Amino acid sequence: MTWRDLTSSDSNMKKETIEKTKEKMQIIFTELVAFSFVMNSCSTDEGDLHMKKKGFYFVRDAASAAKTLAMLDAFPPKVCVFQWHDKSLGSEELLNKVLRAVIQWDCFVIWINDDSWEERKQRFDDEYLQLLTNGKAQLVGFLGRLSSDGWPLVPTTALQVTPIITCVSDFNALSSCPSEFEQLKVCIPKSMLLNELKPLRSSASRQPIVLAVADMTDADIDWLLQALNVLLPFRMLSNLQQARPAFQICLFTCKMSLFGHSRLCLELPGEVVRVEVQDYTNNPQIRSFLQKYSLRNCAFIYHTEQVAKELRGLLI
């Protein structure tokens, strides 16, 4: 029985599975963070070997794929992160080979497609998802681009699903998917045309839906506010009151001015919003907006470039 078969029917089973997965992943993450401090005193090769002995595998290219294939039997995987960057001849065949090998183990897998925007527009990740969900391994994290045929393949027990939206059809494929995910973080290009988009279902995510936008400037604020109304519209409740689904906003490499932040925190709906900002200008005045956002009951999380790098180092 594959993981997809195991988690596709009973909702109570899904909830129990998700809670157990969260507990296991927290233990593993704590172990990984603690182990990363020990690795600081090791060479790259020594650190890589120690990681594999602990069951942590990171597959990025032909070299790491070959090492993974050679060491799986000796050191069974706990977590395997696929973040494939190799474009050399024969690399695709090797990637498929290591995917097939890893899914034979009872472990957690994470798929991260962080190719450039232009490269992502050339293909979908459906075929890799098909492989990852047809074995014993459990997909707990996914970042990539999916077609309408790919969305039914995503296990609803995944802890975080991050679709990369490149066009209207990508977004509408997500909106048409009937699944309910644990956490949905949708990356959309700023100034994307909104008039043909289908709103996201409020039941698409058990946690608040996250809308992630990169390189926001003051000139994009009107678009962002309009996008929230289109993608997450107010809905009529049974008591005839209107309510908007809970959501969060994540602004990567934000380029807004202090005036832009002031306007945004005043015009965003209060109470249901968490705004996470990566601002690489390292302007200390931006921290002063913590109070303004909090007065609107909006949580404001601010990352400088250094903090963002540290987070990426832990998570990827």
Q: Which string of DSSP letters, residue by residue, matches 186-233? A: EE--TT---TTPPPPPGGGBSSPEEEEEES--GGGHHHHHHHHHHHS-
Residues with Cβ within 8 Å of residue 314, at least 6 apart in sequence: 32, 33, 36
pLDDT score, position 217: 92
Is residue 86 predicted with pLDDT exceeding 70?
yes
SS3 174: helix
Q: What is the mean pLDDT of residues 138-161?
A: 90
pLDDT score, position 71: 94
Which DSSP category does 307 fall into?
Answer: H
The encoded tokens of residue 135 equal 């074995």
CA atoms within 13 A on the CB side of 286: 21
Report the range out of 8-12, 123-127, 271-275 with the highest average pLDDT.
Answer: 123-127
The encoded tokens of residue 112 equal 């991260």
pLDDT score, position 209: 87
C-alpha to C-alpha distance for 150 and 173, rounded to whole angstroms: 9
Using the structure block, give the residue that is written with the tokens 């009529």: 236
C-alpha to C-alpha distance for 248 and 241, rounded to whole angstroms: 22
**CB contact burial 193-202 (16+ within 10 A = b; e otherwise):** eeeebeebbe
Q: List, edge to edge, every strand of the sheet that includes 185-187.
A: 185-187, 209-214, 247-254, 274-279, 299-303
C-alpha to C-alpha distance for 275 and 150, rounded to whole angstroms: 29
Using the structure block, give the residue that is written with the tokens 């007065």: 295
Residues 260-279 pLDDT 10s: 887 887 887 765 566 777 66
Return left, alpha or beta for 297; rule: phi > 0 is left, psi -120 to 50 is alpha, else beta: left
Judge contact between 170 and 144, C-beta under 8 A: no
pLDDT score, position 255: 83
Q: What is the DSSP string of 13-40?
A: HHHHHHHHHHHHHHHHHHHHHHHHHHHT
C-alpha to C-alpha distance for 80 and 99, rounded to whole angstroms: 10
Would you report the helix, strand and coil content of the chain in percent, each value rounded to 5?
A: 45, 20, 35
Is residue 243 predicted with pLDDT exceeding 80?
no
Residues 171-211 pLDDT 10s: 999 999 988 888 899 999 887 889 999 988 878 888 888 88
pLDDT score, position 89: 86
Which DSSP category does 49 fall into?
Answer: H
